[in-house]
Amino acid sequence: MKRHQITIVDIAKELNLSKSTVSRALTGHPSVNAVTRQAVLDLAEKLDYQRNMLAISLVTRKTNTIGIIVPEFTSSYFPNITIGAQEVASKAGYNTVICQSNETYETEVANTKVMLANQVDGVLVSITKETKNFDHLKIFQRKGIPIVFFNRVCDEMDVPKVIVDDYDGAFRAVNHLIERGRKRIAHLSGPPSLKISEKRLNGYKAALRKNNIELDEDLVIPYDLNLDKVHIYVNHLLNLPHPPDAIFAINDPTAIEIIQVVKKRGLQVPEDIAVVGFSNDFASGLIHPSLTTVSQPVKEIGGTAAQLLIDQISRDVSEWKSIIRVLKTELIVRNSS
Amino acid sequence: MKRHQITIVDIAKELNLSKSTVSRALTGHPSVNAVTRQAVLDLAEKLDYQRNMLAISLVTRKTNTIGIIVPEFTSSYFPNITIGAQEVASKAGYNTVICQSNETYETEVANTKVMLANQVDGVLVSITKETKNFDHLKIFQRKGIPIVFFNRVCDEMDVPKVIVDDYDGAFRAVNHLIERGRKRIAHLSGPPSLKISEKRLNGYKAALRKNNIELDEDLVIPYDLNLDKVHIYVNHLLNLPHPPDAIFAINDPTAIEIIQVVKKRGLQVPEDIAVVGFSNDFASGLIHPSLTTVSQPVKEIGGTAAQLLIDQISRDVSEWKSIIRVLKTELIVRNSS
DNA sequence: CTGTTAGCGCCTTCAT
DNA sequence: ATGAAGGCGCTAACAG
């Protein structure tokens, strides 16, 4: 059961040196004889010695680890963001611990505890659709651990955030539908608790307004992002006395689901009804018809967030900034509109 | 810069108790007065006290963390496996650290160092397509840290492994193509270094043999899984004097790419050429035509691997088992064949 | 039931 | 350039 770990002491004994010298050699401290250093390094290599980061972190009070909390991993969106974040983090010498909150508030709270207990140097978070109370996240601030939000941000907290121009992206998407001659455009919106839902909805409204199309509240349906329910809303819309000729979806998974439902009903996309999504997930270019969508620079979102976080970490608490970085989206016109 | 962390000492002082009592109260040790315990718990709660896992792990020599090393995160395959693994792990009280090796040997080696340095209690790994030397993985065994392979396993090491019936899955996929009347079935195979490539190839060959179709070596192309090159091989096959009427791909991303190339050439799937993949990735049901493929129980793979690992962790080194768990695949017939 | 004493493996002054 | 001593925050015997 007890496995012997090779420690500094072992190699100190072997080489007849003091622990401190070995430690210095290992950490690349300049004030150590080149020969001694090499001897230490060689022996360490030979013995498969690995520095115990737990011990190091305990004394340096720094783990060189950043935590990432994402709501889910089911679409390609969040995995890609974590890839971007990991790239930047690892270049800066940081490890990454990823937790999925699984879109539930409780899990998110549990995740924050894990992060805290593991003494992460900072956290990246994108909240769940349920999260309305932010106390568990404010703890980080109070403890002097920087936090950076991305995508699903928390309005109440004055910290760095990385988002995209949701309003503008939605505006252009809807404007595009109008340019294509659509008059009755529905919007399957996200939960109102999410800022992105609100902004995309506002973009939608603004595009209608600009084109002098009156907003029909019946065509706007907020939903909880549970894909299993999409068919209900789509069928409801399609059964309306005056059904829509286009649907703008809060995100790609929703849009893809909409297309499936529409097709199952025997209707044609885009002939009978056009569909536009948001995010340009991997599957969107492959589905039939391919999905018109608003692409987000996913990896860049992750990378930017990680960078902002690392900047915060190296700053003194008193100098924390709360930059909001807004990344550009791009309308990708494909065959669904 | 220095943020004050609340420690056991703080709450011990406040309550006029010894550190050990507080510690025991916090860890739920039975031998502690109910009143005392509650007082400790209350104060801890009030102060947002979080146990410092670094310190705990240092002394208990257990981090309750398992590492996962996966080659990539670009398809839905590995993310889903990690989801399955995380579920099981977290239920057993384990945290998870995920590293992507990015399909390169060097990164994989670096990843193992990170795992070692962070004192993971065990590791789950799926090797890169480049990995031919396994010294970096054998270190775990030598240090008494259990390792479990999944999907891309290492033959040289006698440890638990979780795989699917690759041979059988491939066999049924190819057999299905033959039943559909295909005579010349090509196989875009994976790198020979990967066991899965070999097994799927063997399944392919066996299916031909069983149906008395002679193997045409020209129709078998091993490739390095770099999707950018798929078009080369597909075009090569299609330009053959006697081109294939079906292609069995090593995995879904490859199959999807094949379909794109075929379509771009103006040919029809499956009329001109049928395509079958392996893994049933998320996108496979959405692409047009939808992809016939061999589905793998992805979450179960991750969950099983995690469970085997946790079993190993709780066992004494002398009692390590090396079970090989083979999970069932299922042929999903869609429109590409 | 509670307190005392040692460390876990390492870094960091402070000496020499 | 090297040693010695102290401590990071916590648990684990060992004593009461």
Mean pLDDT by 10 residues, chain B (337 residues): 78 94 93 93 94 95 96 92 95 92 95 94 97 96 95 96 98 98 98 97 98 97 97 98 98 97 96 98 92 98 98 91 97 98
Whether residue B74 is found in the same domain as residue B121: yes
**Any idea what the CATH number is for the domain that residue A29 is in?**
1.10.260.40
H or E segment and range at residue A88: helix A77-91
A53 touches strand D (CB under 7 A): no
List, in sequence order, every beta strand (DSSP E) within B18-64.
Answer: none
SS3 content of chain B, % helix, strand, coil (to 5): 45, 15, 40
- Which of A103, A282, A287, A312 to mutate: most B Cβ within 10 Å? A282
Q: Which of B80, B143, B256 comes nearest A286 by C-beta?
A: B256
Identify which of A79, A100, A118 has the shortest CB distance to residue B53: A118
Mark whether A92 and A19 lie in a shared domain: no
With CB atoms and an 8 Å threshold, state whether B286 touches A256. Answer: yes
Residues A149 and A255 in one domain: no
Do both A29 and A73 map to the same domain? Answer: no
Residue A317's pLDDT is 86
Are residues A143 and B48, on separate chains, in Cβ contact within 8 Å? yes
Residues A212 and A291 in one domain: yes
Q: Pick the residue of B137, B280, B282 with the most A CBs within 10 A to test the interface with A by mutation.
A: B282
Whether residue B2 lies inside any domain: the answer is: no
Structural domain span for residue A36: 8-51
Q: Which nucleotides of C are covered by protein (CB under 7 A)?
A: 1-13
**Are both A175 and A210 inside the same structural domain?**
yes
Per-residue CB contacts under 7 A with strand C, chain B residues 40-99: 55, 58-59, 61
Residues whose CB is less than 8 angstroms from the CB of residue B227 and which lie 6 or more positions away in sequence, other chains included: B253, B254, B257
Evaluate whether residue A91 is within a structural domain: yes
Structure tokens at A251: 């995100």
Cα distances (angstroms) measured from residue A52 to each of A3, A38, B108, B114, B278: 14, 20, 19, 10, 41
Specify which residue's alpha carbon is closest to the C1' of nucleotide D9: B55
Residue B156 C-alpha, separation from nearest chain A C-alpha, in angstroms = 20
One pLDDT digit (tens) per residue for chain A, 337 residues:
445 789 999 999 999 999 999 999 999 999 899 999 999 999 999 999 999 999 999 999 999 999 999 999 888 999 999 999 999 999 999 999 899 999 999 999 999 999 999 999 999 999 999 999 999 999 999 999 999 999 999 999 999 999 999 999 999 999 999 999 999 999 999 999 999 999 999 999 999 999 999 999 999 999 999 999 999 999 999 999 999 999 999 999 999 999 999 999 999 999 999 999 999 999 999 998 999 999 999 999 999 999 999 999 999 888 999 999 999 999 999 999 9
Residues 261-280 of B with CB under 7 A from strand C: none
Does some domain include residue A333? no
Predicted local confidence at residue B3, as pLDDT: 57
Number of folded domains in chain A? 3
Report pLDDT digits (tens) over B171-198.
Answer: 999 999 999 999 999 999 999 999 999 9
Which chain D positions come under 7 Å from a protein C-beta?
A: 1-13
| CA–CA dist A319, B313 (Å, integer) | 44
Collapsing DSSP states into helix, strand and coil, what is residue A281? coil
B90 in the same domain as B20: no
Q: Which residue is nearest to nucleotide D5 (CA to C1')?
A: A20
**Closest Cβ opposite residue A73 in set B79, B143, B287:** B79
Taking the CA atoms of residue B263, residue B267, residue B270 and residue B272 in that order, the dihedral angle to the nearest 10 degrees is -160
- Inter-chain residue contact A98 with B98, CB threshold 8 Å: yes
Of A residues 58-77, those with CB within 7 angstroms of nucleic strand C are: 58-60
In this structure, how many other beta carbons lie within 10 angstroms of the beta carbon of residue A229? 12
pLDDT of residue A1: 40
Backbone angles phi, psi at A143, to 5 degrees: -90, 5
**Residue B142: CATH number of its domain:** 3.40.50.2300
Same domain as B289, residue B190:
yes
Q: Do A159 and A174 have their domain in common?
A: no
CA of B23 to C1' of C2 (A): 12
B2 touches strand C (CB under 7 A): no
Q: What is residue B74's predicted lDDT score, i.e. its pLDDT?
A: 87
> Which of A63, A118, A139 lies nearest to residue B48, judging by beta carbons?
A139
- B79–A79 C-beta distance less than 8 A: yes
Please indicate, yes or no, whether residues A172 and A290 belong to a single structural domain of this protein: yes
Structural domain contains residue B336: no
Measure Cα distances from B263 to A332, B130, B237, B253, B256 in Å: 21, 31, 14, 15, 11
- d(CA A108, CA A124) in angstroms, rounded, equals 12
Q: Is the CB of A13 under 7 A from strand C?
A: no
Residues A143, B282: C-beta atoms closer than 8 Å: no
Strand C and B9 CB separated by under 7 Å: no
Q: Are residues B209 and B125 in the same domain?
A: no
pLDDT value, residue B318: 87
Fill in the amino acid letter for A247.
I
Query: A223 - beta bridge partners?
Result: none
Q: Which stretches of chain B are assigned E, i.e. beta strand?
A: 65-70, 95-100, 122-125, 147-150, 161-164, 185-189, 220-222, 246-249, 274-276, 293-295, 324-327, 330-332
Judge whether B214 lies within some domain: yes
Contact B287 A282 (CB under 8 A): no
B23 touches strand D (CB under 7 A): yes
Contact A50 B113 (CB under 8 A): yes
Q: How far is A201 from chain B (nearest CA, A)?
A: 27
Q: Does A57 fall in a domain?
A: no
* Minimal CA separation from A168 to chain B, in Å: 28
Residues A172 and A283 in one domain: yes
Q: Classify residue B335: in a domain, yes or no.
A: no
- Domain assignment present for A58: no
Contact call for B63 and A76, based on CB within 8 A: no
CB-CB: which of A55, A97, A98 is closest to B58? A55
